[in-house]
Structure 1
Amino acid sequence: MGLVIIFALVTLLSVLGLLRSFKDKNVMGIVFAGGTLAVFGWFTVMTILHHGFPTAH
């Protein structure tokens, strides 16, 4: 359960970073925030699908 929360928080922060990078027209920020969003967003979705939410014991 803790892993899903951490992945979700990183994903949300990368969304905020991506939006801010678009606003500032920062290409390097867009690339890194987009990559972070893709990777951690994928980890978040797959962790929820694999382990379920809430986690079953």
Structure 2
Amino acid sequence: MALGITLLFVAILCGIATIREVKRRNFFAVGFAGISFLIFGWFSIMTIFVSGAPDI
């Protein structure tokens, strides 16, 4: 579960970086940040989905 949360945090940072670099018109960085956002976001969602929420 900690891995999923860590990956989600990284995905959020990549999303922020994507928006920031669009404003700066640095499209090379937009590409890398956007792809990283998609990959880390997918892995975080799937990790949380597969491992499941902790039982309360």
**TM-score normalised to the size of structure 2?**
0.88
Is residue 5 of structure 1 aligned with residue 5 of structure 2?
yes
Give CA-to-partner distance per residue, 1:1-49, whole Å, 9 cap, x none.
2101110110010011000011101111110001100110110111111
Is residue 37 of structure 1 aligned with residue 37 of structure 2?
yes
Cα distance in 2 for partners of 1:12, 1:22 equals 16
Give the equivalent residue in structure 2 for 1:23.
23
Give the equivalent residue in structure 2 for 1:46.
46
Structure 1: which 4+ aligned runs deviate by more than 4 Å? none
SS of structure 1 residue aligned to 2:53: coil
Cα distance in 2 for partners of 1:29, 1:46 equals 25
Cα distance in 2 for partners of 1:16, 1:46 equals 21
Kindly tell me the number of residue pairs found equivalent between the two proteins. Answer: 55
Cα distance in 2 for partners of 1:34, 1:14 equals 7
